[in-house]
Amino acid sequence: MDRRRCRCGVERCTNRGVEHFQDAEEEVEIAPAAMDPNVLNALLAALAANQQQQQQQFQLQQQQMQQQQAYQQQMQQQFRLQQDVVTALANRLLAAPSPAQVVVPAPAPAVPVAAVRAALDPEAGRIFMEDTVQLTEGQWQAMVEGRRQLPNESGSTYVLEKVKLCRRRATPLTDAELIPFLIRGLLHPEMRSAMMCIPPISVNAFLIEIRRLESISYSLLTDSSASKETEKIDEKIPEKTRSTDSLF
């Protein structure tokens, strides 16, 4: 019977259909199924192992933290020790008396040699000042080329005087650059030719070579003068006396 057409009260209605019984079946509680003991033991063992592993990791982390703290404390102690040492050294340096400063007397001003020479001998001072004055290139060239060996002047004297003039150039010359100027100023062409064949490498070598050439030329001149004097003596002796002397 359709429940909507029933005129009974809701609580006293006896015309209940199949729907009432379907609702009653849905309200029945379902009891949980029984779990296998082996599975339960396995789950409990896995849970215990997981807890033990977590506890070991926690203990390991605690040990690492303790080691880090101990290392930090050790570093702080070393830093404090270094600071104490530096402070003690600084205090000792500050407490030590400062050494007395030695007062060095100022040296007396040097008197130029040229001024001393000029004061002692005005003529010598004038000559010294003239020798030390640097010349222009044109003046130096004319003075050096105009200085030649004199007839009665020795080679050593000529070389020393010529070198002194060459040193008055604004830019100093080397020995290799001085040699051509010395050769061009020689008096005798034979010496110039001998020097040009094998030029000396230094001023000292030039002096040695010119002395050697002068000694050779002096010996030749001596021999020639001796032969000339012998010829003059022979011309003065009569022919008769010369023949008599030859007999002995």
The token pair that represents 158 in the structure block: 């000529």
Burial zone of 163 (CB within 10 Å; 0-12 exposed, 13-18 middle, 19+ buried): middle
- Rounded to 5°, angle at Cα 113 from 107 and 117: 135
pLDDT band at 53 (very low <50, low <70, confident <90, very high): very high
End-to-end Cα spacing for the chain: 207
What is the maximal distance between C-alpha atoms in the chain? 215
Q: Which pLDDT value is given to residue 97?
A: 67
More confident residue, 33 or 66: 66
What is the distance between the alpha carbons of residues 228 and 224, in angstroms, rounded to a whole number?
A: 6
DSSP 95: H
Given a cut of 80, is residue 174 above it in pLDDT? yes
Q: Which pLDDT value is given to residue 248?
A: 34
**What's phi and psi for 97, nearest 5 deg?**
-70, 140
pLDDT digits (tens, 9 = 90+) for 203-216: 899 999 888 888 88
What is the distance between the alpha carbons of residues 69 and 63, in angstroms, rounded to a whole number?
A: 10
* 190 HSE (CA, 13 A, CB side): 4
Average the pLDDT over 62-67 and give the result. 92
Whether residue 153 contacts residue 210, with contact meaning beta carbons closer than 8 Å, is answered with no
- How many of the other CB atoms lie within 10 Å of CB of 218? 10
- The domains located in the chain, with CATH, are 136-233 (1.10.1200)
What is the distance between the alpha carbons of residues 6 and 16, in angstroms, rounded to a whole number?
A: 10
Q: Which pLDDT value is given to residue 247?
A: 36
What Rg do the C-alpha atoms of the chain give, in angstroms? Answer: 65
In the block, tokens 């003065």 appear at 236
Whether residue 185 contacts residue 147, with contact meaning beta carbons closer than 8 Å, is answered with yes
More confident residue, 68 or 122: 68
What is the distance between the alpha carbons of residues 108 and 41, in angstroms, rounded to a whole number?
A: 111
Least confident of 43-47, 74-78, 90-94, 189-193: 90-94
Nearest to 163 by CA among 152, 154, 172, 151: 172
What is the distance between the alpha carbons of residues 99 and 90, in angstroms, rounded to a whole number?
A: 17
Nearest to 198 by CA among 183, 186, 178, 185: 183
Counting residues of the chain whose pLDDT is more than 90, the rounded percentage is 14
Nearest to 13 by CA among 22, 4, 25: 4
Average the pLDDT over 54-81 and give the result. 91
Angle at which helix 203-236 crosses helix 189-197, to 10 degrees, equals 140
pLDDT band at 61 (very low <50, low <70, confident <90, very high): very high
